[in-house]
Every structure is written in structure tokens, then in C-alpha cells.
Amino acid sequence: LADGSKHCETMAKEEVDRRVALEAQRLLVHTTATSVAIGELLGFDEPTNFVKFFRRLVGTTPEAFRQAHRLQR
């Protein structure tokens, strides 16, 4: 039972992380807010933590993501 509970906690954290990353992507594409401001809005105390989090989940930096998706418009 303990292993199942830990698995559920991990799955829940991964889902929360995915949703935070999705909101970050939305804000990067649809607002002019800086990466620092977006990171703060999403609860990151340090800009570097937001960049590391974003890169881990999305595969690129927030600014590179913004540039790539703004060019497609």
C-alpha cells in the first residue's frame, strides 16, 4: 500500500508540473510578461529555478520557446 501511495503522489506531482508548464507556455506566447515575471506568477522564488523547470519539461528555455512560437504567428 505504501508503494502505491508513493506512486500516486509522483503521478500527481507530474500532472501538476505539466499543468504549470502548460500555463507557462500559454503566458509566454500570449502575453508580453517577462520570463522572470511568469516564473514569479507561477510560484518560483528564483528565475533560474523556473528556467530549469521549464527546460526539463518543455525541452527548451522560456525565451527560446517564446521566440519560436511568436515567429509562427
pLDDT digits (tens, 9 = 90+) for 36-73: 999 999 999 999 999 999 999 999 999 999 999 986 55
| pLDDT for the residue 5 | 79
Q: How far apart are the first and last CA of the chain?
A: 49
What are the backbone dihedrals phi and psi of residue 6, each rounded to the nearest 5 degrees, phi first? Answer: -65, -40
| pLDDT higher than threshold 90 for residue 4 | no
Give the Cα separation of 54 and 51 in Å (integer).
5
All three cell numbers of 38: 511568469
| pLDDT higher than threshold 60 for residue 9 | yes
Q: Enumerate residues 6+ apart whose C-beta is below 8 A from 49.
A: 39
